[in-house]
Structure 1
């Protein structure tokens, strides 16, 4: 009986030892791993393996040292596959010393001065960010995806977010951004278009031009010059008279929604009303495939052009000047 107890104790001892060793092994396997990044942006891109063209471009532009510096920077990084989508010969041309200035402009259009995590980028939905070449990149959230320069020549989708580096963050994109897709604010866009001379003059007279050049986002239903010409004779002159500024402000703010509403979202509001910046409500109806504002009102308007994207919102072009008195 004594020998059996001894043998039993030996087995128990071996079992406990094995459990202890296993526990130690598991503890080592699951030991906390530091989440602090150890590589800068350029080193991270090199180490990743998906950005060989981008790294070569940074070196050719002599920006690799800059993006290895203190920062912080946010880089929207096109993959090699993204560069492969460019027309044949484009990359080779960009890497030529003679085209260095163009290459620098292109690369800096992918960099923000400062660290912008994905959560902050998503919060910019409907607005834009100023890149290191001083041009704007439009930012939109569409069906849960973060899209850069929506509807542009080279619209890009963010496919991977928040690759942390010692001097900033990388977001991976599936296209090479085009500086030609940079957008202006609502007022500058309207002024440059050429069809909104009266609207721009009215915004200036009402001292709303600075407001609608601000951060936003705003949605502006913008009457053309032809739309203003449809008003009774003398109406525009009356509205532009300094003595009638409050009336002009009321009219103009009845064309502005606080927020960015793309055409798809506006169409989804069929049969509903939205509150405009003057406090009045405007109805939206889809009739014969056209988006109609204030259907049946004193000055019913049809949206003739949708989704003119700006750095601080969106413009939809309309064929009549809305009447605040049509507010339901």
Structure 2
């Protein structure tokens, strides 16, 4: 047994070393830097001054509120639409593989490229979205240049981008449900709604828990889509600034890495707490 353990650790050593070097060490380094001030090459210990600064900074609270708003709205709506579309494709649409590939294509496409396309779709003057709204005699909006619309635009784009990964994972989960469950339910006269809510949804709970975790983490780390939509900015007047934009601005633009790392630690703890709470909730739902 001891010989096997030694060999196992030798095989695991490269992974452990690389994980420590590129995953664990940056987290520890960020935590230490959050208590330091100065330039990146000349940091000095200043205690909790960085945390005092960000907690008194209105820009930090605005960015965090935008991040929480984005996560609270995008994740449940995106997941609900994903379940609906996956179920429709699985139960009613032919050529499922074709539609799976179609929905998965945005996931393997650069977010920057998609964001540039959506920049034209959301354009207030010649964008296709406003053209469609005008066609149906609905009010239009200046999606990109109106500060009050910035977060709505980001949320719409975020919901769309979340569908690709969610639908493919849900389709795989639906295929793993034993078809005999539906056969027996039909023998007892169960309706489509009853089969969905009493058979499909309970079987999807583990998959939904996984997707909820991944979507929440992605939502709190949103950056690339905003960068693409607003051409490298966080909206007009920082109207779509989120936590990662705040961290980038303090680190790269302002040159205060200690403040950026303090915000990083707060964001990390927020993601950790949110993920823990939602997994506990999904576990209770699964038990019931």
Q: Structure 1 length as normaliser, TM-score? A: 0.20
Structure with bigger RCO (C-alpha 8 Å, 6+ apart): 2
Q: Which has the higher helix share?
A: 2
Larger Rg: 1
Q: Which has the higher strand share?
A: 1
